[in-house]
Chain A
Amino acid sequence: MRAQGGAVVSHRLHIGFFPDEETLIDAAREGRDRGMAIDDIITPYPLHGVDELMGIRRSRLPWVTLFGGAIGLAIGLGFQYWSAWSDWPLNVGGKPLDSLPAFMPVAFEMTVLFAGLITVFALLLRCGLRPGKHARDGFDLTTDHEFALILSQPDAAFRDEEFEELLVRNGASRTQEMMTEEKR
């Protein structure tokens, strides 16, 4: 039995909404340097540098794509050989049963089809995106022009006012506190 099983941990989130990317990056960097935890950063477009700040590893999606492509290639080539050579061998214009060059276009298209679709599904699955999912409330303007930085306590080392002060001093146009509950 795991020690933390079933425990509900609630923690307080301090959210700052910034008018542009530079101020958000500055605030996030200062917060991180002082030892605060960056819970999340929500932006209208991808910001680079955020990955390093938050310690996000490079996505392993390329491996999924490679895997998808390999499956597509195997199915594409395998089915063509099986149907045209083994299941119903047919002499088409005197061409050999093993017509690898003629099988390449379909094999290639199947490779791309599988690689592409599997990549898309892996992306949606990994990001938890699905039809009918309700987007997190309270961030409606971050799809427009606001940049949200969400800080939280690592271990009760900071007072609430310290978060507030850091966010405002770095240029947050408004701040907000939010409680979340997480099953650990």
Chain B
Amino acid sequence: MKGTHNMAELSSTPLITGNLRPKDVTEDVCRPLEGKPTRLWYWGFGAALTVLALGATAVGYQVMTGIGTWGLNRTVGWGFDITNFVFWVGIGHAGTLISAVLLLFRQKWRTSINRSAEAMTIFAVCCAGIYPLIHMGRPWLCYWVFPYPNTRGPLWVNFRSALLWDVFAIGTYFTISLAFWYVGMIPDLATLRDRARGVRKKLYGWLSLGWRGTARTWSRYEVACALLAALATPLVVSVHSVVSADFATSIVPGWHTTVFPPYFVIGAIFSGFSMVLTLMLIARKVMHFENYITKKHIGAMCKVVVFTGSIVGLAYMTELFVAWYSGSVYEQFVFLNRMSGPFAWAYWIMVSCNVISPQLLWFKAVRNNLVWVFALSLVVNVGMWFERFVIIVTSLHRDFLPSSWSGYMPTLVEYGSLMFGFGLFFTLFLLFCRFLPMIAMFEVKSVLEKPKQGTPADRSTAACELKGVQS
């Protein structure tokens, strides 16, 4: 009895609180873009730019001097650079998951967070792209990765290489995510256009492509969005599978495993959702979006985090089991070395941040406590960065030949390149908060609670039918 009562209560909790009407949504989302930025925004932007400038100095110095400025050596050929690359690609995945997969599953709670999650995807992929680029040493020759007609034959790129698959996977992912994000924003840009004057009206008018929102346009628009979502969903899976193939197609013990693609994809979703939580909790507070990003949204994201975190834990255990079960001394050594060797501290940071601490999210009291959720989301971000570090560095530093064994000590320049990513990410994100609608207004308007009136029965059933097919 009590159970059913609770169920009824749960389902009647509105997605968007505060009894908002469409007009309020427009006001709440557009107002921050139309006034002067707040002092908090200036501080945040200043801090992000400072971090970006420091990082850019380090990256600039490295590009001018060479990758000898990094702590890499002949045994540990990949270090911070590829760790950062995989970390940022992973962060991006939650955005696509929220916007595409949850759209296909008709999860309406995604409407308040999908826009910023997609923005996060695009900025994260920008950050990710930096690292392979600067790792080339001569980034001005980066066009060599593309198959273009050249005077050397033409000599084509090696399509059998996982690193080349990455070029295509990341390139497609970035392009499709950008297209999806932009198309999803056109109706809201039209809202901004219709409210603006002068230069802003011109700018938003140009960006909104003359959108008016007629029935025929909406009808096609929704089909197109569903199609893009259906395309983006397998894309997410393919991108991180391809990234994992950078490792899995090699013969290095600790890399050469078939569990890598699903393990990487789930890890990406795990880290991405944590980053979404971090950003959304900040945005909610700073932009006063408490009515839009409610505890219900945060609770739902926490559940995804604890679910994917548990799968990540399962993947860690699978790796250990398979290493033992394989009977291969090299495999067994790598995992024993991870747990007790020179980088054991990194391994245990990874396990405690990714597997142990997220388990707290099973408790509703923790999910409802935003300070705890924020802290845990940061912990997971740290843990997932270390996961990539552990996979890359600990697998490499003990080679097949003990004479090649070495250590790895990142230099100041590498710490600088790490900062570059974070600086770029937050700079772009703060610019986004300032100039583009952070919440998908038209989607939120479509899931608002209808005001309770004495509506005839036929009308309410019609409304239910309408709601049922709304995305």
Task: Write the residues of chain A forming the contact surface with B, with a CB cutoff of 8 angstroms.
Answer: 20-22, 25-26, 40-51, 54, 56, 58-59, 61-62, 65, 79-80, 83-84, 87-88, 90, 92-93, 95, 99, 102-103, 105-106, 108-110, 112-113, 115-117, 119-120, 122-124, 126-136, 139-145
Closest beta carbon of chain B to A140's beta carbon, Å: 4
Q: Are A145 and B466 interface neighbours, CB within 8 A?
A: no
Once the chains bind, are B176 and A84 in contact (CB under 8 Å)? no
Report yes or no: B227 in contact with A65, Cβ–Cβ below 8 A: yes
1/0 contact string of B216-245 vs chain A (CB within 8 Å): 111111111001100110110010001001
A43 touches B168 (CB 8 A): no
* Main SS class of interface, B: helix
Query: Which residue in A26, A105, A143, A145 is a CB contact (below 8 Å) of B168?
Result: A105
How far does the alpha carbon of A50 sit from the alpha carbon of B465 in the complex, in Å? 12
Closest partner residue, chain B, to A137 (CB atom): B212
Beyond A59-B223, A106-B159, A112-B235, whether A45 also contacts B194 by CB under 8 A is no
In the complex, 9 of the A-B residue pairs with CB atoms within 8 angstroms, ordered by the A residue number, are A25-B462, A43-B215, A45-B443, A46-B446, A46-B470, A61-B227, A87-B154, A103-B160, A139-B213
A133 touches B214 (CB 8 A): no
A47 and B221 CA atoms in complex are apart in Å by 12
Interface residues of B in 337-396 (CB under 8 A from A): none
- Interface size class, chain B: 35 or more
Interchain CB contact under 8 A, B228 and A116: yes
**A-B CB pair tally, cutoff 8 Å:** 218
CB <8 Å contact, A109 and B462: no
Counting chain A CB atoms within 10 Å of each CB, the highest count among B193, B212, B245 belongs to B212
The complex places the Cα of A139 from the Cα of B213 at a distance, in Å, of: 10
Q: Would you call A130 and B465 a contact (CB within 8 A)?
A: no
- Main SS at interface, chain A: helix
User: Which residue, of B21, B171, B214, B245, has the highest number of chain A Cβ atoms within 10 A?
Assistant: B214
Q: Name the distance in Å between B95's Cβ and chain A's nearest Cβ.
A: 16
Give the shortest distance, in Å, between A15 (CB) and chain B (any CB).
13
> Taking the complex as formed, is B248 at the interface, i.e. its CB lies under 8 A from any CB of chain A?
no
Decide yes or no: A133 and B147 within 8 Å by CB, A22-B450, A143-B187 being known contacts.
no
Given A50-B215, A56-B215, A112-B235, also A119-B228 (CB < 8 A): yes
Q: Are A42 and B214 also in contact (CB < 8 A) when A22-B459, A119-B224, A145-B23 are? A: yes
Contacts of B164 in A (CB 8 A): 106
Chain B's nearest CB lies how many Å from the CB of A66? 10
B336 at the interface (CB under 8 A from A): no
> By CB atoms of chain B within 10 A, which of A41, A106, A143 has the most?
A143
Chain A residue at smallest Cβ distance from B153: A88
Q: Known contacts being A88-B156, A135-B208, is A123 close to B187, with CB within 8 Å?
A: no
A97-B220 Cα distance, complex, nearest whole Å: 44
* Contact A129–B214 (Cβ < 8 Å): no
Residue numbers in A under 8 Å from B207 (CB-CB): 131
B26 at the A/B interface (Cβ < 8 Å)? yes
